[in-house]
Structure 1
């Protein structure tokens, strides 16, 4: 009997099925279809970085879930595997928590993001004439300088506006260890922190606050970071190592990389995703531009990520091996 010829429709269906199977093979036949859970925090850049990584992984066929999590407390979930990927752990504020977690063997550092972190006490340039010893931190010990940065709620002490408490940073400890006549007030959110800067700058009002980079603020506003005694691990861990023999944190914050970190089981459960996350890299200028689009120009995180992916297709396809 002569074999019945395959119809074009059946041939097309088989071709489509083969393509789908090939796509699944690209992800890895042995990889789990469970959702990879990426943590979201409370600042714009981290939301962008996380969604960018998540959308790239979706292009590779992975199931992605975004989970709101506390910046430092998230390590409990990463260690158990209830959470899987944290795209930004800053050398400036998260190093201790990251090191303690990776020491358990239950979490892994997936390498640097390519961005360099700086966050420290910052003041607008118009305040320098009222405290001419700046940026040297010792100028802040002058009662007249402290009062120049005071508000009705803190006078005669200066007011330092810190980030949300969940960010860490040891600013309260720093004030005590260096005997600074300042009171630390924590902003409730990232948005509130920069809204207060915007308001103060427009009025040329006194303000000393936590500014970080990569971000649009250091580019938009003229000002300087306070120069504290140089950070060392001993300064944070050994009171005898710094200026104050009785208290730790008598130095500035560390500067350095922003790291990717996550559950150590990721590489076995989703090896292709592990490779892509490790390959991910972006620089301060790119991130600063995207944050500006969201915070100043009113775009959504989703739109900014989509624009970046459209302009960098060859790059992110290289991360997922396409």
Structure 2
């Protein structure tokens, strides 16, 4: 979207920011727009920020988010009750490593992603230890290594992403998420604890500093118009992460192939 806005004459600076902590920057106006806020992990933080009146919901991106515990298909041979989550405790040893044995090992995303995996393990009584990857790259590097060796692995996978296209596997099927699962301990199978369900699936939204609506109305209108789907995004991610193409080259290719589309966003 930044390159589209450049075509409309705006000066754009790309800033790396912590996924949840970025809301402080958006509320103060130090940051202006975040293009991907996932319902699966960022809904609570986004809603809290919107309630301050300092940020604005800029609408859905068109992509659908899915994040959940995932395992390679070869692990199903060692734990035939999958994808039902109830099979996990019976197969904890199959997912264990020397550092977690006799408990199974679950590789979560970086701590900054949130996700409530530690709470989920406790609420569902899972005989697993949560280990957090230091970075996104480390998460998928470990998946690649384990997959090549057919080693035990259970980890957090999200889509859209190239991993679901490259590796054969399945998501664990937990009790279906509802808002009450996270807010009401009496909901679900554990009447004393919340988070006794899977992760939420849903939208990926754009959110911005409210002051930007008045300062750059045309840009905010264009950002609201921005839409892209999972297949398009996944295809670009594959080109960058798997095919080794440069980010700028992939963006330029998309821009050249979709001129009428993005030009309509900035009219």
Return the TM-score normalized by structure 2: 0.98
Runs (4+) of structure 1 moved beyond 3 Å? none
1:77, 1:56 → 2: CA distance? 23
1:52-201 residue pairs with structure 2 within 5 A? 53-142=1-90, 145-201=91-147
Aligned residue for 1:112, secondary structure, equals: strand
CA RMSD of aligned residues (A): 0.8
Separation in 2 of the partners of 1:166 and 1:294? Answer: 24
* Aligned partner of 2:199 among 237, 241, 253: 253
Structure 1 counterpart SS, 2:157: strand
1:268 corresponds to: 214
The structural deviation recorded for 1:242 is: 2.1
C-alpha distance in 1, partners of 2:9/2:76? Answer: 54
Q: Could you list the runs of 5+ residues in structure 1 that have no partner in the other structure?
A: 1-52
String of CA shifts for 1:245-272, please: whole Å, max 9, x gaps. Answer: 2211111010011000111111111000
> What is the aligned partner in structure 1 of residue 254 from structure 2?
308
Question: In structure 2, how many angstroms separate the alpha carbons of the residues matched to 1:119 and 1:244?
Answer: 22
SS in 2 for 1:137: coil
SS at match of 2:186: helix
Distance between the aligned counterparts of 2:176 and 2:197, measured in 1?
Answer: 6
**Count of residues paired in the alignment:** 267
Q: TM-score scaled by structure 1? A: 0.82
**Structure 2 unpaired stretches of 5+:** none
Higher relative contact order (CA 8 A, sep 6+): 2
TM-fit CA distance, 1:103? 1.3
